[in-house]
């Protein structure tokens, strides 16, 4: 086993890449705290992890609320007494609060001229600020035990944006700054800090994006054309790399940002016969 007797906090662990990571960790001997705003799916995931023979605690929390962050970490410590691994995975591209769903076929309004201050602030809190304060709460325990692994999920859109999503991509770029700075700060304490930049992965992340797309099957069938390896990623593809960074296989790596996108940003091309 790669993670015997370890304990992980996985934010956004109820579904998608977070869920795949929790299940993968359990197979490798790691107990988990699933921290997510989705209580129904979070409890289902915790049950699936437990069936693999490892303890799993679901905690409902909102990463945009700092008191809830503090409470979540405190509950994790009360349950397990330590945190060895932190996976910063929560985030997304929800519609602005109060905005009506787009009508089918409507062209979405994207770009700097449509940027709204309140939505900008919300997106940075959801995709960056919240993770900073989860780290703030977890790091003292890692320093005390002089051991830890922090893995944060950024996005390949930071360096190769497929479309205008300035709020989301700016926040995810901040994840890289957080990673590099924490790597330097925490290296003396044997704490490894790395990031992953996922490419297109078929998860519920795309639900808001597809809300106004008439032919969703056509969207998914088209997307692999932009990926050099010719397929869309799976949550398990990302979970495998998270496992690598959480294990001792990567013990001499810190301050790294790994592209996991089927070859993106290389140009996609047809195979030579």
Supply the residues annotated as catalytic.
Answer: 168
Q: Quick count: other Cβ atoms within 10 Å of Cβ 39? A: 12
- Examine the pLDDT at 190 and tell me if it is beyond 60: yes
- Examine the pLDDT at 264 and tell me if it is beyond 80: yes
Task: Show the tokens assigned to 128.
Answer: 């960056």
**What is the residue-averaged pLDDT of the chain?**
91
How much is the CA Rg of the chain, to the nearest whole Å? 18
Classify residue 99 by burial, with Cβ atoms within 10 Å: 0-12, 13-18, 19+: exposed
The residue whose two tokens read 């905690």 is 59
Using CA atoms, how far apart are residues 127 and 90, in angstroms rounded to an integer? Answer: 7
244-248 contacts: CB < 8 A, separation 24 or more?
245/149, 245/151, 245/192, 245/194, 245/196, 246/2, 246/3, 246/6, 246/8, 246/25, 246/30, 246/85, 246/87, 246/149, 246/151, 247/2, 247/3, 247/28, 248/2
Global pTM reads: 0.92
Domain total of the chain: 1
- Examine the pLDDT at 185 and tell me if it is beyond 70: yes
Give a yes or no: residue 206 inside a domain. Answer: yes
> For position 95, what pLDDT does the model report?
63
Query: What is the band of 203 on the pLDDT scale with cuts at 50, 70, 90?
Result: confident
Give a yes or no: residue 267 inside a domain. Answer: no
Give a yes or no: residue 121 inside a domain. Answer: yes
Using CA atoms, how far apart are residues 45 and 7, in angstroms rounded to an integer? Answer: 16
Calculate what percentage of the chain has a pLDDT beyond 70: 92
Give a yes or no: residue 137 inside a domain. Answer: yes
* Ranges 11-20, 80-89, 163-172: which has the least confidence: 163-172
Phi, psi (rounded to 5 degrees) for 70: -60, -45
Give a yes or no: residue 253 inside a domain. Answer: yes
> For position 43, what pLDDT does the model report?
98
Give a yes or no: residue 268 inside a domain. Answer: no
Specify the CATH number for the domain of residue 59. 3.40.50.720
Q: What is the mean pLDDT of residues 159-164?
A: 85
Burial 216-240 (b: 16+ CB within 10 A, else e): eeeeeeebbebbbeeebbebebbbe
Give a yes or no: residue 155 inside a domain. Answer: yes
Q: What is the mean pLDDT of residues 64-71?
A: 98
> For position 206, what pLDDT does the model report?
73
Nearest to 169 by CA among 152, 151, 154, 150: 154
Phi, psi (rounded to 5 degrees) for 56: -150, 130
Give a yes or no: residue 214 inside a domain. Answer: yes
Domain that holds residue 10: 6-257
Phi, psi (rounded to 5 degrees) for 255: 70, 30
- Examine the pLDDT at 150 and tell me if it is beyond 70: yes
């Amino acid at each position: 086993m790669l993670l015997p007797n370890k304990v992980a906090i996985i934010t956004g662990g109820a579904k998608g890449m977070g869920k795949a990571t929790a299940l993968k960790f359990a197979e490798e001997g790691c107990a988990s705290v699933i921290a997510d705003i989705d209580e129904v799916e979070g409890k289902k995931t915790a049950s699936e992890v437990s069936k693999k023979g490892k303890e799993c605690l679901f905690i409902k929390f909102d990463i945009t609320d700092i008191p809830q962050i503090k409470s979540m970490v405190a509950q994790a410590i009360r349950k397990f007494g330590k945190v060895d691994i932190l996976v910063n995975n929560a985030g997304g591209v929800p519609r602005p609060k109060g905005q009506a769903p787009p009508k089918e076929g409507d062209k979405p309004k994207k770009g700097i001229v449509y940027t709204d201050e309140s939505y900008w602030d919300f997106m940075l809190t959801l995709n960056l600020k919240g993770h900073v304060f989860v780290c703030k709460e977890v790091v003292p325990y890692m320093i005390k035990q002089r051991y830890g692994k922090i893995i944060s999920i950024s996005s390949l859109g930071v360096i190769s944006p497929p479309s205008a999503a300035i709020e989301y991509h700016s926040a995810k770029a901040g994840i890289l700054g957080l990673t590099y700075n924490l790597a330097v700060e925490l290296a003396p304490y044997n704490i490894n800090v790395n990031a992953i930049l996922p490419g297109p992965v078929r998860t519920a992340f795309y639900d808001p994006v597809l809300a106004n797309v008439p032919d969703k099957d056509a969207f998914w069938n088209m997307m692999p054309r932009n990926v050099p390896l010719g397929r869309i990623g799976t949550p398990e593809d990302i979970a495998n790399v998270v496992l690598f960074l959480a294990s001792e296989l990567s013990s001499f790596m810190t301050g790294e940002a790994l592209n996991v996108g089927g070859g993106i940003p290389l140009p996609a091309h047809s195979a030579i016969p």
